[in-house]
A and B are shown apart, each in its own frame.
Chain A
Amino acid sequence: MTDHNGLILNELSKTFGDNQALNGIDLDVAPGEVVAVTGPSGAGKSTLCKCIAGLERPDSGSVFLGGREIAGDLPGGRGVAFLFESYALYPHKTVFENAASPLRVPGRSSSLSGAELADRIGRELDKLAIGHLADRLPSELSGGQKQRAALARALVQDNAAITMLDEPISHLDAKLRHRLRGEIKRELMARDAPAIWVTPDGLEALSVGDRVAVLIGGKIAQFGTPREIWENPASVEVARLIGDPPMNLLSARLQDRDGTVTAELDDGMHLILPPDSVERLVAASGKQSLQDGAVTIGVKPRDIRIIRLEDVGVMTSEVVSLEPFGKHSLVTLSLGKSFVRVKARDDMGVRPGERVGLRFTGPVTFFKAKTGSRIVTGWEEQGGETERRAVPAL
């Protein structure tokens, strides 16, 4: 049981009709911490925020904020700074008035004088590059500008008990998104209050979150540091969300042939698993034999290398497409019935239709085929990179 003055959710559940939007959510955000909540659309991210803000009443579970249970408080009494995914700007108020509105609510801790308030709002608008739009109405703004106006309204509340940003930068152009991601993160970290940053983009979650909660189907599928989630995704679903492109997932069947364990992919190709991987697999799965174990193998696109076919003992595949991005190329290959995406520093000038070999150069994660939950991340053995390759045999 976590014990701090930030946000603590215990067994939070919420149902809309037949739809279990939130199912036993346990989550905590320490003061000054930014927790990124990510997940596919419909996973319950926005519902989670609304339950914390008091706009939805959870069916069960408790919400603690600042060391106090707030489930019974009205939304206005919770001190929440909330950026709505839909912006929720006041349509008849200018950008400036929108941003200033939470500071002007009587009874709020607004010790700012008129000039101080104007200065505070002005700084925030300038930071978000919409200072020149202060006198515009929301109907006169583009989508990205509206989003920044709403963002300003949430961020000017320096004394908020919690800041929740529901997809704060999703409608901005890439350049601005990259800049603001860091600036907003710094601003949130400087506060002595917890912050929640919701995003459907797994990579954005990893980059902004001190910790990341992956929400799938109303449940926390994984809650941990970005590194934990990047290196050890808890399930196939989590793996599918993280990374651009996400982890390659191949279904395979383990075969134990006199102590040599192989993972058979479709089309008869198989990987020979190094002995230590086998040991780990056995230990993690709790079974004596790996015979006929159905698994899903996960390999990150950057952990696969394309090699020339002259090298012996490699998996062969056909190049389907090539997307050169400059610092790396994204190569899509067909492997049996599945497709594998490779993030290659050197695409060696391959062309669609060409047959190439491929070699795994980094950790491979094994998931149970049935439940999708992770068994073990293996393949990390002694030695340098050259030793870390599995040598799949044909």
Chain B
Amino acid sequence: MTDVPIEDMPNQGGPSKAVVKRQPSHGEPVWYPYLLMAPAMITLTIVALLPFLFAVFISFHEMKFGKFGDFAGFGNYVELLSDGRFWNALGVAVLFVAIAVPLEFMLGLTGALVLSRPIWGRSVLIPFLFIPTMMAPIVVGLLWKIMLAGSWGLLSYNVIEPLGLAGETSIFASPDYALFALIFVDIWQWTPFMMLAFFAGLQALPINPFRAAAVDGANPIQRFFWLTLPMMTPLLVVIGLLRLIDAFKVFDSIFILTGGGPGTQTEMPSVLAYKMTFEFWNIGEASALAVVVWVLFFVFCNVFYQVAKKKLNAF
């Protein structure tokens, strides 16, 4: 270590892993940061943490029409896990997410790549893309209920029925297609959001590595896989994960369009929890359902986070 220039000294850790120690405060009291965080923390405690803990509490009790009964141990959970409807709901949700989210993801990324080229009318197009995202999900549900209404709905009358795509009834009453109609609505609503999020990410990429790749002779496809995709990975992972969680919890459009039917064909956990609570008044089992779904997500998100961190260098 005699004649190594200072800048060549082995860099222990590197800036990305550097731990920034909190500097001694500039005369501010120790509790000052906590004061600043307090409003958010208090709000979250009241509207999220306490109801959640209460739900956990409920799930361990026998409930009769909103009144606490005896402590039930894992009774509600046993009941839930032996309920075919619960497993059906999980299956529906997995199918819904597994089809809707990858399609939204790919359509969104493709659209973002198209948008990031200097195409004609881009500045007009972008505000339009915000419309589905800005609409309340309940309004989206009503909109498509009308568009796809049996026999007189605009799309039903003009497209679906002439082509005989969904049999005689409304598509929402079709056991085979109802779920796909819901998936279609979800894609309609959320693809533009994905597109805009990815578009913003593409705009933020540094231009010079792309220039370097162009000079070095990489073609557009090589540039996409060598540069765009790896540099976008953190954003893709975060947006994809958010969308995944959100899609699993979808409620409004299902509630409006199918109510979980026909039968239980489109009954996702959120809809089932609603029905258990307000139709069957089985609040104990509904709370157990909520807790189980939460545990599933907690585990899933942690695994996802670890994998994304190690394999993809995201986060």
Residues of chain A having any CB pair with chain B under 8 Å: 53-55, 74-78, 80, 82, 84, 86-92, 101-102, 105-108, 129-130, 132-133, 136-137, 139-142, 144-145, 153, 173, 175-176
Question: A102 vs B231: C-alpha distance in the bound complex, in angstroms?
Answer: 19
Asked whether A108 lies within 8 Å of B16 as measured between CB atoms, the reply is: no
List of A residues within 8 angstroms of B206 by Cβ? 88, 91
Asked whether A76 lies within 8 Å of B214 as measured between CB atoms, the reply is: yes
Instruction: Name the contact of A86 in the complex, choosing from B208, B222, B230 (C-beta under 8 A).
Output: B208
Asked whether A145 lies within 8 Å of B7 as measured between CB atoms, the reply is: yes
Asked whether B15 lies within 8 Å of A139 as measured between CB atoms, the reply is: yes
B116 at the interface (CB under 8 A from A): no
B11 at the interface (CB under 8 A from A): yes
Asked whether A145 lies within 8 Å of B8 as measured between CB atoms, the reply is: yes
Question: A5 vs B14: C-alpha distance in the bound complex, in angstroms?
Answer: 46
CB distance from A10 to the nearest CB of B (A): 22
Asked whether B5 lies within 8 Å of A53 as measured between CB atoms, the reply is: no
Pick the most buried of A55, A108, A139: most chain B CB atoms within 10 A of its CB: A55
Kindly identify, within residues 184 to 215 of chain B, every residue whose CB is under 8 Å from any CB belonging to chain A.
Answer: 206, 208-209, 211-215
Asked whether B216 lies within 8 Å of A88 as measured between CB atoms, the reply is: no
Asked whether B211 lies within 8 Å of A55 as measured between CB atoms, the reply is: yes
Q: Mark B301-315, 1 if CB is under 8 A from A, else 0.
A: 000000000000100
Question: A51 vs B214: C-alpha distance in the bound complex, in angstroms?
Answer: 13
Asked whether B11 lies within 8 Å of A140 as measured between CB atoms, the reply is: yes
Question: A88 vs B209: C-alpha distance in the bound complex, in angstroms?
Answer: 5
Instruction: Name the contact of B217 in the complex, choosing from A55, A102, A141, A144 (C-beta under 8 A).
Output: A102
Asked whether A53 lies within 8 Å of B215 as measured between CB atoms, the reply is: yes
Question: A374 vs B198: C-alpha distance in the bound complex, in angstroms?
Answer: 57
Pick the most buried of B208, B212, B313: most chain A CB atoms within 10 A of its CB: B212
Instruction: Name the contact of A173 in the complex, choosing from B7, B16, B219 (C-beta under 8 A).
Output: B7
Question: A126 vs B114: C-alpha distance in the bound complex, in angstroms?
Answer: 42
16 contacts between A and B (CB under 8 A): A55-B211, A75-B214, A76-B215, A76-B218, A77-B217, A88-B208, A91-B209, A92-B231, A92-B233, A101-B216, A107-B217, A132-B8, A136-B11, A140-B11, A173-B7, A176-B5
Q: Which A residue sits closest to B211, measured CB to CB? A: A55
A105-B313 contact in complex given A88-B209, A90-B227, C-beta closer than 8 Å: no
Q: Which A residue sits closest to B10, measured CB to CB? A: A132
CB distance from A378 to the nearest CB of B (A): 46
Question: A167 vs B226: C-alpha distance in the bound complex, in angstroms?
Answer: 26
List of B residues within 8 angstroms of A102 by Cβ? 216-217
CB distance from A11 to the nearest CB of B (A): 24
Question: A76 vs B212: C-alpha distance in the bound complex, in angstroms?
Answer: 9
Q: Which A residue sits closest to B229, measured CB to CB? A: A92
List of B residues within 8 angstroms of A145 by Cβ? 7-8
Question: A55 vs B11: C-alpha distance in the bound complex, in angstroms?
Answer: 35
CB distance from A161 to the nearest CB of B (A): 11
CB distance from B156 to the nearest CB of A (A): 48
List of A residues within 8 angstroms of B5 by Cβ? 129, 173, 175-176
List of A residues within 8 angstroms of B230 by Cβ? 92
Main SS of chain B's interface residues?
Answer: helix
Asked whether A140 lies within 8 Å of B209 as measured between CB atoms, the reply is: no
Contacts A89-B209, A105-B216 aside, 17 further interface pairs with beta carbons under 8 A come to A75-B215, A82-B212, A84-B212, A86-B208, A88-B209, A90-B212, A90-B227, A92-B231, A92-B233, A101-B226, A102-B216, A133-B8, A137-B14, A139-B15, A140-B15, A142-B7, A176-B5
Question: A173 vs B6: C-alpha distance in the bound complex, in angstroms?
Answer: 10
Q: Which A residue sits closest to B233, measured CB to CB? A: A92
Asked whether B8 lies within 8 Å of A129 as measured between CB atoms, the reply is: yes
List of A residues within 8 angstroms of B227 by Cβ? 90
Asked whether B212 lies within 8 Å of A88 as measured between CB atoms, the reply is: yes
List of B residues within 8 angstroms of A84 by Cβ? 208, 211-212
Asked whether B208 lies within 8 Å of A91 as measured between CB atoms, the reply is: no
Asked whether B214 lies within 8 Å of A140 as measured between CB atoms, the reply is: no
List of A residues within 8 angstroms of B208 by Cβ? 84, 86-88
List of A residues within 8 angstroms of B211 by Cβ? 55, 75, 84, 88
7 closest residue pairs by CB, A with B: A88-B208, A76-B217, A140-B14, A88-B212, A102-B216, A75-B214, A92-B230
Pick the most buried of A90, A153, A175, A176: most chain B CB atoms within 10 A of its CB: A90
List of B residues within 8 angstroms of A89 by Cβ? 209, 212
Q: Mark B229-268, 1 if CB is under 8 A from A, else 0.
A: 0110100000000000000000000000000000000000
Instruction: Name the contact of B214 in the complex, choosing from A55, A107, A133 (C-beta under 8 A).
Output: A55
A105-B11 contact in complex given A91-B209, A139-B16, A140-B16, C-beta closer than 8 Å: no
Asked whether A139 lies within 8 Å of B7 as measured between CB atoms, the reply is: no
Pick the most buried of B206, B214, B215, B231: most chain A CB atoms within 10 A of its CB: B215
Instruction: Name the contact of A76 in the complex, choosing from B8, B216, B231, B313 (C-beta under 8 A).
Output: B216
Asked whether B215 lies within 8 Å of A55 as measured between CB atoms, the reply is: yes
Question: A132 vs B7: C-alpha distance in the bound complex, in angstroms?
Answer: 12
List of B residues within 8 angstroms of A133 by Cβ? 8
CB distance from A98 to the nearest CB of B (A): 9
List of A residues within 8 angstroms of B14 by Cβ? 136-137, 139-140
Question: A130 vs B209: C-alpha distance in the bound complex, in angstroms?
Answer: 20
Asked whether A108 lies within 8 Å of B209 as measured between CB atoms, the reply is: no
